[in-house]
Structure 1
Amino acid sequence: MRHPWSMVKAAYQVVRTIRDPERLEDIVELAGVLAPPRALGRITEGLRSIPSAAEALRERPRIGPVDVAALRTLPPGTLGRAFGDHLLDNGLDLAALPRLPARTDAEYFRAHMLEVHDVWHVLTGFSTQVAGELGLQAFSLAQLGSPFAAGILTGGLANTLLFAFPERDVRMRAIVRGWLLGKRARLLFGAAWARMWERPLAEVRASFGLEVAAVEALLPPVAQSC
């Protein structure tokens, strides 16, 4: 049973995240609330039935230290160059993320998902704005059935209703795009991205069935907000 104070703190973080969905520190802390150990155990149990995921849970590849300057010397169009540009353009510092342990399958799942979040941004083409973050969580939910992703989407829709209703079309379009991409693609979980920096981004997307252009073509342009 959760301590009452931890439940109060979690509720406060949920409310604060709904009000300001760009607070990374709250979102990281909410992972333990929205995806507790029991839920992670169910996810990893399901992943063991998928050969690529089962291999990842055995080998537990990590991103490791990222040299942004080195990545930006790679040829344009490579995964590593796109990732380095993404980090620089958005003012992101991966060293600021907590280095989580990965002693168990559940711990590895949490650590891996935190580390690869921005790699998935590059692969899926989602921005780091609120709509893009919601789209990426829809992608994650489609791929993994993560309660954390479902919780963030719920909070994002609440934020849209209460504080950003004119953004409803662009956010819902991103969510639909993420869900379709996630359902059509091969499982991304557990891939050793650090070994793929020099590969062309288009080639990596194709190898995972990430039909970015095809899904984009299915969706109508965003309607003018009222």
Structure 2
Amino acid sequence: MAVNPVLGASPADLPLYDERRPRPRLRLWKAWHHFQNLMQDKENTEEVFHIFEALPWRGLRHSAVRFLSSPNGQAVRAMEPHLPAILDDHAALRRMPAGSLAHAYCDFMEREELTAQGLVDEFDKFAVTREQFDDQFRWYLNRMRDVHDMLHVLTGYGRDALGEACVLAFTYSQQPSPAHLFIGYMAGLNIRRQVRSDAPVLKAVREGQRLGKACPRLCEESITALLPLPLEDVRRRLNITPAVYYHEAHATWARIGVDPYDLLGKSLKNAA
């Protein structure tokens, strides 16, 4: 039987959940400390992982085990044991039809100079001091991480500060970790503090949260089944409708000469 190259054990031999895992604990002060660090450098992904550890989704174990106990869950896990390897094979993705999710994903990742493995590497820096557990739950945890950039593509939210906040609010409605809302809304408030305008920043974040309620959990979908499909077909299939307030905010900033990709960059450093 094949050995899982990521987990290091035969997938069929792994328990659903290793009972030795520590129970999640809510640590508000730690979350606040790491959020302050994140606001100094929004590219410091390790700070995001610290916040998620401090503000855990209490129902995560139940949701993961429920999915992994289903035939569909096991089928997805068998077909896609390590999603970054699939997503980073742009040569294979480019062979899929023009206009597909695969092409849109490649366009986004290449434009932003990102790789799926890059997010894994950032997580590994955070996780190196933490005990690792070889269970199926670990696959589910990784899966939630690995679909983040795909959500940018599907929702149309960019990687600017407001776009990231909106994606997190959207994700909260699928994976209700308090960290999603904490980062999303605190980032929104920080944006409003940095740039005084009538841009509908918090409305955009709230809209992201509302739009996410209609979308099934992307981490539980077969990504290989979605990739060859036309992008708009995938959006309809997942009930993802266009955001309004996010684009209104960008239009407002454009009228006053504000770069949405620099809201928490130079402007924040100059204000410090």
**TM-score, normalization by structure 2:** 0.64
C-alpha separation in 2, matches of 1:209 and 1:112: 20
The structure 2 residue matched to 1:17, chosen from 38, 41, 49, is 38
Q: What is the Cα-based RMSD across aligned positions, in Å?
A: 3.6
| Structure 1 letter corresponding to 2:142 | A
Superposition pairs of residues 34-73 of structure 1, within 5 angstroms = 34-35=55-56, 39-40=57-58, 42-46=59-63, 54=70, 57-59=73-75, 60=77, 61=80, 62-65=82-85, 66-73=88-95
Rate the CA distance shift 1:150–1:176 in 2: closer, same or farther, 3 A: closer
Query: Could you tell me which residue of structure 1 aligns to residue 211 of structure 2?
Result: 181
Aligned partner of 2:150 in structure 1 is 119
CA contact (8 A) 1:102 1:108 kept: no
Aligned CA distance change for structure 1 residues 54 and 145 (closer, same or farther; 3 Å): farther
2:162 corresponds in structure 1 to: 131
Query: Within the alignment, does 1:209 sit opposite 2:250 as a pair?
Result: no
Is residue 28 of structure 1 aligned with residue 45 of structure 2?
no
1:158 to 1:53, Cα distance in 2 relative to 1, 3 A:
farther
Q: 2:99 aligns with which of 77, 99, 106?
A: 77
TM-score normalised to structure 1 length: 0.75
Q: Distance in 1 between matches of 2:110 and 2:230?
A: 19
Describe the SS at the equivalent of 1:198.
coil
Inter-partner Cα distance in structure 2 for 1:127 and 1:202 = 17
Compared with structure 1, are the counterparts of its residues 170 and 103 closer, same or farther at alpha carbon in structure 2 (3 Å cutoff)? farther
Question: Where does residue 202 of structure 2 map in the other structure?
Answer: 172
Tell me how far 1:7 sits from its aligned partner: 9.5
Tell me, what secondary structure is at the counterpart of 2:98? coil
User: Which residue does 2:259 correspond to in 1?
Assistant: none
Aligned-residue offset at 1:8: 8.4
Gaps of 5+ in 1: none
Say if 1:168 and 1:130 are closer, same or farther in 2 by CA, change over 3 A. farther
The offset of 1:190, in angstroms, is 1.1
| CA shift in 2, pair 1:173/1:22, >3 Å | farther
Give the whole-Å Cα distance in 1 for the aligned partners of 2:140 and 2:182.
Answer: 17
Once the two structures are superposed, residues 47-97 of structure 1 have per-residue CA deviations (whole angstroms, 9 ceiling, x without a partner) of 666x79955654534414121243234333101000000100111122222
- Decide whether aligned partners of structure 1 residues 106 and 52 sit closer, same or farther in structure 2, where only a CA change above 3 A counts: closer
1:31 CA displacement: 2.5
Q: Per the alignment, do residues 204 and 8 of structure 1 end up closer, same or farther by CA in structure 2, a change over 3 Å counting?
A: closer
Opposite residue 13 of structure 1, the aligned amino acid is H
Shift of 1:173: 3.9
User: Structure 1, residues 96-123: CA drift from partner, whole Å, max 9, x if none?
Assistant: 2226778446433321111000111111
Q: How has the CA–CA distance of structure 1 residues 220 and 85 changed in structure 2, closer, same or farther, with 3 Å as cutoff?
A: closer
Cα distance change, pair 95–47 in 1 and its aligned pair in 2 (3 A) = closer
In 1, the alpha carbon distance for the partners of 2:137 and 2:197 equals: 35
Q: Which one-letter code corresponds to 2:162 in the other structure?
A: A
Q: Which residue of 2 aligns with 1:108?
A: 139
Matched length: 214
C-alpha contact (below 8 Å) 1:141/1:149 kept by paired residues = yes
**Is 1:142 paired with 2:163?**
no
